[in-house]
Amino acid sequence: MSFKYVSKYGLIPLFFFACIAYVIFFITNSENHHAKAMGSKKIHSAHADYPVLSTVTELTYKADLIVTGMFTGNRVPKFYTDENGEIIVRASTSEFEIQKVHKGVVYDKIISVIEPAYEDNNEIYTIEGYKLMNKFDKFILFLGNTDEGAYRIVGMYQGQYNTNSTIKINSMDGNNDETEYFGSQSEIKHYKRLKEQVLELFKNN
């Protein structure tokens, strides 16, 4: 199973995040790529084909592993390229220290997680509004297995929740890069509903 995306080179098949989501950041303007200056950094937002999950029950079912813990601060870029060597997906592999396992079996306290976003000193690249974990807060992650030596986030932004944050969840329509999630106004309602369910079920368990 694979998805195909239209780029300036035509249709490109690409295995990414275990065939759940595939996305291309375009160099040229596209309906699937939005760039906006927010705060001190320019944010590039790309769309992907992924399952929209209505409840925490669906999210739990999709995950191979559900854990609570913290990002260690160790992160490396994970770029995917096309046959011409051009970067079409900018992601990151982040080190995560597990504090509690809610579902699944894992033998290592520290695991690697592929996050569908990348950030440097000047720009942020996000797939479906996903915001990279910070090293100060605790997160609940819904993870899937891959063959890349790291877990993937299930359902893009739907698979990562900051349990400590008091930051207002802003939209791409706003003008601030201090947020938990870079979604649109309509998507934020969905994210908030899921987060309420996730925290109620897992935060104190």
- For residues 80 and 114, the answer to whether their CB atoms sit within 8 Å is no
Give pLDDT, residue 6: 31
pLDDT at 86: 93
Exposed e or buried b per residue across 101-133, where buried means at least 16 C-beta atoms within 10 angstroms of its C-beta? ebeeeeeeeebbbbbbbbbeeeebbbbbbbbbb
Q: Spell out the domain ranges in the chain.
A: 23-202
| The pLDDT of residue 192 | 87
pLDDT in the model for residue 179: 64
pLDDT averaged per 10 residues, the chain (length 205):
31 36 37 49 83 92 97 97 92 98 96 96 90 94 96 94 70 52 73 91 83
pLDDT, tens digit, for every residue of 16-32? 443 334 344 433 333 34
Predicted local distance difference test score (pLDDT) of residue 176: 47
Half-sphere exposure of 166 (CA within 13 A, CB side): 0
pLDDT at 23: 43
Task: Residue 45: name the closest of 130, 122, 160 by CA.
Answer: 130
**How many CB atoms sit inside 10 A of residue 69's CB?**
20
Extract the tokens encoding 61.
């079912």
Residue 166 is predicted with a pLDDT of 59
Single pTM value for the model: 0.79
Strand partners, 123: 42
Cα end-to-end span (Å), the chain: 36
Quickly name the fold that domain 23-202 has. Answer: OB fold (Dihydrolipoamide Acetyltransferase, E2P) (2.40.50)
pLDDT of residue 169: 56
- Distance from C-alpha of 56 to C-alpha of 49, rounded to nearest angstrom: 20
